[in-house]
Amino acid sequence: MIEEGDRILLVGAGREFYIKAGKGSLGTDKGQLDLAAIVGKNSGDTITTHSGAEFTIRIPRPTDFFTHGKRSGAPMLPKDIGLVIAYTGMNHNDDVLDAGTGSGIAAIYFAGVAKTVKTYEVRPEFSTLAMKNITDAKLTNIEAIPLDFLAATGLYDVVHLDLQIQSEHVIHAYSLLRSGGYLACYTPFLEQMAIVVDTAAERFSEVHTHELIEREMIRSKRGTRPSTSVCHSGYVTIARK
């Protein structure tokens, strides 16, 4: 049941709105919506504007926070986050450390899979913004920590790094991992990827780097073809302790 202050999506009439249920109203080109009327409803229920346009209520999923959440920069793409989850075998028994929180999007995805997630961000203002997205996602198994990753302590099954990675970050990640655990590093440039691979190769038993190329298919009346949008985003290195 939706409570006051919950984030929801309203979908209909060729529109999508990312709003909070509760006090006030939402003005749309299809009429006014009473946000208080959403409280007490469930996902899949409908709400109607004063002019009769109908919208369906959805509970946001991680994909929706990627699209609509507040951003402090460019988050990892879902395809790259999915690669990290798949190649580390992340699961409900895992304690995960995420570093380079940014907007918190990767941490939100991870928290839907793992037992616990601690996410480190050296810039306090970014950590605060990420916590707003995490709160909106109603996830209680994430802790956002406004500190440098090198200050992180504890033991983890997966360590994920999305920051300006240097050798000391890889070395510190090794010290935080349980035996058999995985380090996953996202690097946008080959030079950073080389730092990760060269440092990890001296310590980890397995090191593999992947470039995931994604092409969306576009279909229209004229025909079907791959999208011309950029399909490369970066490199993900997976290393096992």
pLDDT digits (tens, 9 = 90+) for 175-229: 999 999 999 999 999 999 999 999 999 999 999 999 988 888 999 999 999 988 8
CATH code of the region 7-58: 3.10.330.20
Q: What is the pTM of this model?
A: 0.85
When pLDDT is cut at 50, 70 and 90, the band that residue 238 belongs to is very high
Task: Reduce the DSSP state of residue 194 to 3 states and report it.
Answer: helix
- Domain boundaries for CATH 3.40.50.150 within the chain: 63-240
Q: If we measure between CA atoms, which residue out of 183, 189, 188 comes closest to residue 169?
A: 183
Annotate 110-134 with b (16+ C-beta within 10 A) or e (fewer): bbbbbebbbbbbbbeebbebbbebb
- Domain boundaries for CATH 3.10.330.20 within the chain: 7-58
Checking phi first, is residue 180 left (phi over 0); if not, alpha (psi -120 to 50) or beta? Answer: left
Residue 151: how many other CB atoms lie within 10 Å: 10
Looking at every residue in the chain, the average pLDDT score rounds to 91
When pLDDT is cut at 50, 70 and 90, the band that residue 105 belongs to is very high
Q: Which CATH class is domain 63-240?
A: alpha beta
Tell me 149's DSSP state: G
Q: If we measure between CA atoms, which residue out of 62, 82, 109, 72 comes closest to residue 214?
A: 82
**Segment 115-165, tens digit of pLDDT:** 999 999 999 888 888 888 888 888 999 999 999 999 999 999 999 999 999
Beta strands in 31-162 (DSSP E): 31-34, 46-48, 54-58, 95-99, 116-120, 142-145, 156-161
